[in-house]
Structure 1
């Protein structure tokens, strides 16, 4: 059963405070907050499991005032795999790890958000995640004996071959794939087609543009990149998706991302990388609810957030996604000429294409 809870994003990433003078507005309870993303292509998966204070009428930030309240002392965490008949096939124990030791250190000071230091998560090492099976996160508190779990999770199929259940994008099979944004009249557009993979519900396309800036006085070369989320689509498994954007949006993005060229600077266009994400139904439900909230009059207040945890005192989201990537997509010469001449981008001073 889907649940909704009153919780701010800060709780999902382990907010705490160092204040000593506080009052708890509600009786203390051990609340489990779990969140993570499964990707069948990954060799390891990390699920963050933390503790939170919750109240249906108050901000979680006001309640999470105990400095050492983010992690449970003793948990047994595992991932269960089930077949179509909901019969348990295997249970895989997950190990508590320091994310810095796993190669995922905290961000630099000033951009750390609310993550604790050290930053702990539970690591799942499993030979494969099968899109035809079901998975369930199991969390047992060894002190209290309480056990919580997620609902069944269906893993998005990331296989890329041409099959009705796979994440197939025909353009990604082409060599020297090029994009043309040159035409801007009559709602001219770019569209990418593909097959929605098994267990996916939402598709998102991102173009990562790379440019080189050259200081004509010193010859110094600086590489820069920016991501253009160009389209989203919602489809059922095996349906064809289409990611479409009008070409004029590309020029607006380019200008907003990089702005006019600084003095004594020339710019060169490099290739770009394309990423297409396929998200599970849990992600679709989460973002759909967030969209409704942001459009409402109460959008800036405490509001319900989607959760697929099944326990009475467990919240969070464990979802799945797959990723299809095409590196070194070419922006064709006609589009480059258009960038030089378009009123939106002509002050950006792109003079050619980088050769390095």
Structure 2
């Protein structure tokens, strides 16, 4: 399971949902579950986060935020039902910190970091399966639910970009292509730039990496499973390296390879991003609409798939640009 990516996506949701310039931190109390989950056939374990909407009237927001009982349900049952196979599973309540998912420090209580867990070898999800999550809070309260389709494989093109890149001129963008699953509507595309580094005083080289985030939200809402093509400018590639790799006098660096990473998510995330962006900017309305696919609650439940194409190399003129270009000439690449 790609821990960094899934929680980057969750952080993006939080950021986008915080774009409003006019909101209430405290309102009339209602029992509203807030749900986030990205299910994937690639994961060994599936996780769901469920918290309470915040907060009771008359309370101190900063004090209550640090109380575990104020943000988590004590008697919540989370069910995952595969509507294709008819199987239903009860998810296990766990502390995310014990699972390798610590919650970031902040205003809200971070220990325990309550998550609901289901092992993939118990509930074997298939590409295209329809999944329903049900959140039972007891006390004769109507359950909250969310339904999604599991997205499938993304196949990166073997030719775009080519395996051996010889030119990285600013005026000539790199072409990136892939064939997605038809249930995928939004894509995150990035390259991992792998290199060897030896700093002054060190005897050997260390493998390091930098990330070129090409585009975090390429939208293909009417995806029919045909090839998706995207052009990216090489200048932003070199700018990314310059901001991530520090200039160190006497450092020795050697290019190793590049990996293309494409992650796709379902229509639910596309709709969330679309709605969140609809009224941002200088002409935006004061009240920004909120998208949620959780009936009887708030939040996003969707599916994702990540494909990695390894072994892309820079050669000839492209390597010269890395060594002597305006953004990277002081990074000491040999």
Q: TM-score range by the shorter chain?
A: 0.7 to 0.9
Match of 1:295 among 276, 281, 287: 281
Q: Which residue in 1 is equivalent to 2:22?
A: none
Q: Deviations over 1:235-280 (max 9, x none)?
A: 3131211132122222222212224x22222222222222111111
Q: Give the C-alpha shift of residue 63 in structure 1.
A: 9.9
Count of residue pairs the alignment pairs up:
307
**Residue among 153, 168, 171 paired with 2:148:** 153
Distance, in Å, in 1 between the alignment partners of 2:55 and 2:283 is: 23
Shift of the 345–65 alpha-carbon distance from structure 1 to 2, 3 Å rule, reads closer
For residues 1-356 of structure 1, the aligned pairs below 5 Å read 9=14, 26-53=27-54, 65=65, 67=67, 68-83=69-84, 89-106=86-103, 114=108, 116-125=110-119, 126-150=122-146, 152-158=147-153, 167-171=154-158, 178-180=163-165, 182-184=167-169, 187-219=171-203, 221-231=205-215, 233-235=218-220, 236-259=223-246, 261-297=247-283, 303-311=288-296, 314-351=297-334
Distance in 2 between residues matched to 1:144 and 1:308, nearest whole Å: 22
* 8 Å CA contact 1:276, 1:325 repeated in 2: yes
Distance 1:238 1:332, change over 3 A: same
Partner of 2:10: none
5+ residue gaps, structure 1, are 1-7, 13-23, 159-166, 352-356
Distance (Å, rounded) in 1 between the aligned partners of 2:194 and 2:300: 33
Retained in 2: the 8 A contact 1:181–1:190?
Answer: no
Q: Deviations over 1:197-241 (max 9, x none)?
A: 121011221111123332244546454322111245333131211
CA distance in structure 1 between the partners assigned to 2:65 and 2:95 by the alignment: 23
C-alpha distance in 1 between matches for 2:65 and 2:260: 42
Deviating more after overlay: 238-247 vs 275-284: 238-247
Cα distance, 1:133 vs structure 2: 3.0
Cα RMSD over matched residues?
3.3
On the 8 A contact 1:182/1:247 being kept in 2, the answer is no
Contact 2:82 2:130 in 1 (8 A): yes
